[in-house]
């Protein structure tokens, strides 16, 4: 299939800018694409055990002897300094030097971890991100944030390390469970909600196809989401302002994840967070009435379970103390309506606790 689309991302100077290459079956000529954007003598492919089992050897074989495969246990718990030590030692043992390129083949965990290995190995070697989950394709692989978790919180040790390229093959999603595809698409709905109402409605319309792994529908979604995320991060690579709009749904969403001890899915937490944050905006009279219902309908189509018993007090406490227990003022992205956030008075806002509590108590 020749359906390739390339999207340019600005990352602080021409030398750091990169291309997101989206093409069905791109994985079949991955070595050509990787060499084109990050030419190297040798390549280190980093994957978790699930992805390595499904795709590792066929991908490494295509590099005809120039690549080594480095595998870690699947799951968020592996996004740690312990795994970083093991992987960097393995790369040293395998003789990789400054002239090697790292290929991050996997979901968001692999992208963050392998990206951080690349950011630090020999003071930084190139990385090509090859996302294999819906979430990583529409969100995590683009933006240049890499890192690992610490005991007290997620993503606390990391670096900005823009990839040399992101190569997206939507066909990787064939082997994902429908629920996992749908949870990734929640971030796509978020992109629509903050930037493009037509896109928001398109994701809702194609929710069934996206869940069931339709490659065309998935590819169209990835193209538009990457365009939106690329535009936002290109305008604001260091999260000084505009980039904060990507946190829509995440202020309450992250609190839900923390209160759950990170046992639940990120996509579902963000789904609940988007509905509730839209409700906050409605209660303040800033967000058009009906916006939270529109979000709920779209999420229903993805079959994200939205009924939840939420403890407003615990969530507000989780929002008000940061990962190290310091007090902080939670900031909210408030939509004007689906597809629109205005910045007249800043991209984020602080909101009185009683409004947040009311939104959570009456949200579901």
Chain residues binding ligand NAD by CB under 6 A are 48, 50-51, 54, 74-76, 79, 106-110, 112, 132-133, 135-136, 139-140, 143, 145, 154-155, 172, 175-176
Nearer to ligand NAD, 106 or 363 (CB): 106
> Biggest alpha carbon distance in the chain?
62
Nearer to ligand NAD, 109 or 245 (CB): 109
Candidates 206, 227, 254, 301; catalytic one = 254
Name which of 79 and 279 has its Cβ closer to ligand NAD: 79
Location of structure tokens 């699947």: 74
Comparing CB distances to ligand NAD, the nearer of 133 and 234 is 133
Closer by beta carbon to ligand NAD, 251 or else 287: 251
* Shortest spacing between CB 229 and ligand NAD, in angstroms: 9
Q: Which of 250, 258, 268, 279 is catalytic?
A: 250
Residue 321 gets the label, from left (phi > 0), alpha (psi -120 to 50) or beta, of beta
> Rounded to whole angstroms, how far apart are CA atoms 11 and 268?
30
Q: How many Cα atoms sit within 13 Å of 76 on the Cβ side? A: 13
Q: How far is the CB of 244 from ligand NAD (least distance, A)?
A: 13
Q: How many Cβ atoms sit within 10 Å of the Cβ of residue 265?
A: 20
Q: Which residues contact 245 (CB under 8 A, 6 or more apart)?
A: 194, 195, 232, 333, 341, 347
> Is position 349 annotated as part of the catalytic site?
no
**Backbone angles phi and psi of 201, in degrees to 5:** -70, -35
| Nearest-angstrom CA–CA distance, 5 and 19 | 10
Q: Is 229 annotated in the active site?
A: yes
277 has catalytic annotation: no
Phi and psi torsions of 306, nearest 5° = -105, -10
Tell me whether residue 239 is one of the annotated catalytic residues. Answer: yes
The CB-of-149 to ligand NAD minimum distance in angstroms stands at: 8
In the residue annotation, 247 being an active-site residue is answered as yes
Query: How many angstroms separate the CA atoms of 227 and 139, rounded?
Result: 11
The single residue of 211, 229, 296, 301 carrying the catalytic annotation is 229
Q: Which residue has its beta carbon closest to ligand NAD?
A: 108
How far apart CA 293 and CA 291 sit, in angstroms, is 5
Q: Which of 211, 266, 296, 301 is catalytic?
A: 266
Would you state the structure tokens that stand for residue 299, as one six-digit string? 């999420």
Residue 187: active-site member: yes
Smallest gap from residue 177 Cβ to ligand NAD (A): 8
Is 329 part of the annotated catalytic residue set? no
Task: Tell me which residue of 310, 320, 140, 136 sits closest to 332, measured CA to CA.
Answer: 320
State the Cα–Cα distance between residues 312 and 302, nearest whole angstrom.
26
Catalytic residue (one of 247, 257, 277, 279): 247
Distance in Å, CB of 68 to ligand NAD, minimum: 20
Q: Minimum distance from CB of 69 to ligand NAD (Å)?
A: 15
Please confirm, yes or no, whether 62 is among the known catalytic residues.
no
Choice among 70, 96, 243, 258 that is catalytic:
243
What is d(CA 53, CA 43) in angstroms, rounded to the nearest whole number? 19
Query: What tokens were used for 122?
Result: 């020999």
Residue placing its CB nearer to ligand NAD in the complex, 139 or 294: 139
Positions annotated as catalytic residues are: 123, 145, 187, 229, 239, 243, 247, 250, 254, 266
């Amino acid at each position: 299939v020749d359906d390739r689309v390339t999207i340019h991302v600005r990352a602080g100077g021409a030398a750091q800018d990169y291309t997101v290459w989206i093409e069905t079956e791109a994985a079949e000529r991955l070595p050509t694409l990787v060499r084109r954007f990050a030419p190297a003598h040798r390549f280190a492919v980093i994957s978790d055990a699930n992805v390595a089992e499904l795709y590792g050897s066929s991908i490494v074989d295509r590099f005809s002897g120039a690549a080594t495969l480095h595998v870690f246990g699947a799951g968020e718990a592996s996004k740690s300094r312990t795994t970083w030590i093991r992987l960097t030692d393995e790369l040293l043992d395998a003789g990789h030097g400054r002239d090697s390129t790292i290929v991050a083949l996997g979901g968001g965990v692999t992208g963050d971890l392998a990206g951080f290995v690349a950011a630090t190995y020999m003071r930084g070697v190139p990385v090509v991100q090859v996302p294999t989950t819906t979430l990583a394709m529409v969100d995590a692989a683009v933006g240049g944030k890499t890192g690992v978790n610490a005991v007290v919180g997620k993503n606390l040790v990391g670096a900005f390390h823009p990839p040399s390229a992101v190569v997206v093959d939507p066909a990787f999603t064939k082997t994902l469970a429908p629920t996992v595809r749908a949870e990734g698409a929640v971030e796509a709905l978020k992109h629509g909600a903050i930037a493009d109402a037509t896109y928001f409605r398109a994701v809702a319309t194609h929710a069934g196809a996206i869940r069931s792994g339709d490659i065309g529908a998935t590819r169209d979604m990835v193209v538009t989401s990457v365009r939106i995320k690329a535009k936002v991060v290109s305008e604001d690579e260091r999260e000084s302002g505009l980039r904060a709009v990507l946190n829509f749904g995440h202020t309450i969403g992250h609190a839900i994840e923390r209160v759950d001890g990170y046992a639940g899915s990120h996509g579902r937490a963000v789904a609940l967070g988007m509905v509730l944050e839209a409700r906050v905006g409605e209660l303040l009279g800033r967000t058009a009435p009906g916006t939270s219902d529109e979000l709920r309908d779209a999420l229903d189509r993805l079959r994200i379970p939205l009924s939840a018993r939420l403890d407003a007090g615990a969530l507000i406490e989780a929002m008000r103390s940061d990962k190290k227990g310091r007090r902080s003022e939670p900031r909210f992205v408030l939509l004007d309506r689906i597809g629109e956030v205005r910045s007249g008075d800043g991209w984020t806002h602080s909101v009185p606790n009683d409004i947040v509590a009311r939104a959570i108590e009456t949200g579901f």
